Amino acid sequence: MSTLSNVDIEKEIGSNIYIYPFSRSKLRGASYNLTASKLAWSLQTKKSIYDAQTNKLIIPKQSTALIETNEAIWVSLKIAGTYHSKVAWVSKGLSHIGTTLDPEYVGSSLIAVHNHNDQDVSLTPEVDTFVTLVFQYVKTKASVKPGNDPGRPDVLRAYHLTSEEETWLDQDFRKIPDSLKTKMKESTDFQEILDQRKAIKTRLGSSAVYIVLSILFISSLAAYGFLASRKETFANQLWYDPTMNALLGSTIALPTALLTKWLSDISKN
């Protein structure tokens, strides 16, 4: 297995990795930070810890909270991952995080954190990142699909979910990869990545044109020179004059095509 850098993650976004909402600001050198959603519950009371008046998740002192990530994720059979805690929150008393992302998982992630502090710890949902996800390439494509349902409803059956929370968890893009990919297209940062890919393909295509035209010109010039030097040998052949005329035309037409292409590219830029 090898860890994906931010460059690798951007390369895989839209093909082997889907994330929504997606933001480049959450990319790190070799990970992607995930934000808390408004869906969070106390392990002790089985009730929501979201305070609508302050728009905060409040994790009571010496208690454990279950928090759904705001981001929904899908990875292909080529990708796995691990979830890790962030130093900023561990320094405030929250527990370390360590769990896994299986290949072909889809949905938000349910993360358990314990507040070891003697004071409450609060997070702003959809703003504060509280867990970082490291992606990895698997050596061989996985043959076993994830055993857990999106968002872990099996764990949440014991909790007092409101109809709004159930609706949030039941959104298509949190359960269906194709819906998640469609939703991801709403992310401005993802569209920027797509535009960059198109620009790179255009540049590569343009470079290929220059290379092909240059090779054809050099080949035509070399062939013309060779046949001209062997005129006494081939002059009586029926193909000689038509071939020489075609090669001569190529040595004139190909530089003209190169110049036209160059001027066209300059005007576009």
DSSP per-residue letters across 7-61: HHHHHHBTTTEEEES--GGGEETTEEEEEEEEEEEETTT-SB-EETTTTEEEE-T
- Please give the pLDDT value at position 268: 67
Q: How much is the average pLDDT of 145-162?
A: 78
pTM over 0.95: no
pLDDT above 90 (res 181)? yes
pLDDT, residue 259, reads 83
Name the residue ranges covered by the structural domains of the chain: 2-176, 195-268
Q: If you search the block for the tokens 């929504």, which residue do you land on?
A: 20
Q: For the chain, give the mean pLDDT.
A: 89
pLDDT reported for residue 244: 86
Structure-token pair, residue 259: 């110049």
Mean pLDDT of 197-220: 80
Mean pLDDT along residues 5-14: 94
pLDDT of 204 reads: 67
Token pair, residue 138, equals 């698997």
CA distance 232 to 64: 94
- In this structure, which CATH number among 3.40.50.140, 2.70.40.10, 3.40.50.970, 3.40.140.10 belongs to the domain 2-176? 2.70.40.10
User: Of 73, 76, 82, 61, whose CA–CA distance to 131 is shortest?
Assistant: 82
Q: Say which range, 115-124, 181-190, 224-233, has the weakest mean pLDDT.
A: 224-233
pLDDT of residue 240: 87
Q: Is 13 a residue whose pLDDT tops 80?
A: yes
Q: Specify the DSSP class assigned to residue 241.
A: H
Q: Measuring CA to CA, how many Å separate 264 from each of 87, 196, 216, 237, 261?
A: 53, 21, 20, 41, 5
Is residue 269 over pLDDT 70?
A: no
Tell me which of 236 and 262 has the higher pLDDT.
Answer: 236
Position 1 scores a pLDDT of 64
Which of 30-34, 114-118, 224-228 shows the lowest mean pLDDT across its residues? 224-228
Q: What confidence tens digit (pLDDT) does each residue in 41-90 have?
A: 999 999 999 999 999 999 999 999 999 999 999 999 999 999 999 999 99
Q: Which residue has the tokens 């620009």?
A: 199
The Cα 41–Cα 58 span in angstroms is 10
Task: Tell me the C-alpha distance between 28 and 133, whole Å.
Answer: 10
- Return the pLDDT at 257: 83
pLDDT at 182: 94
Share of the chain above pLDDT 70, in %: 97
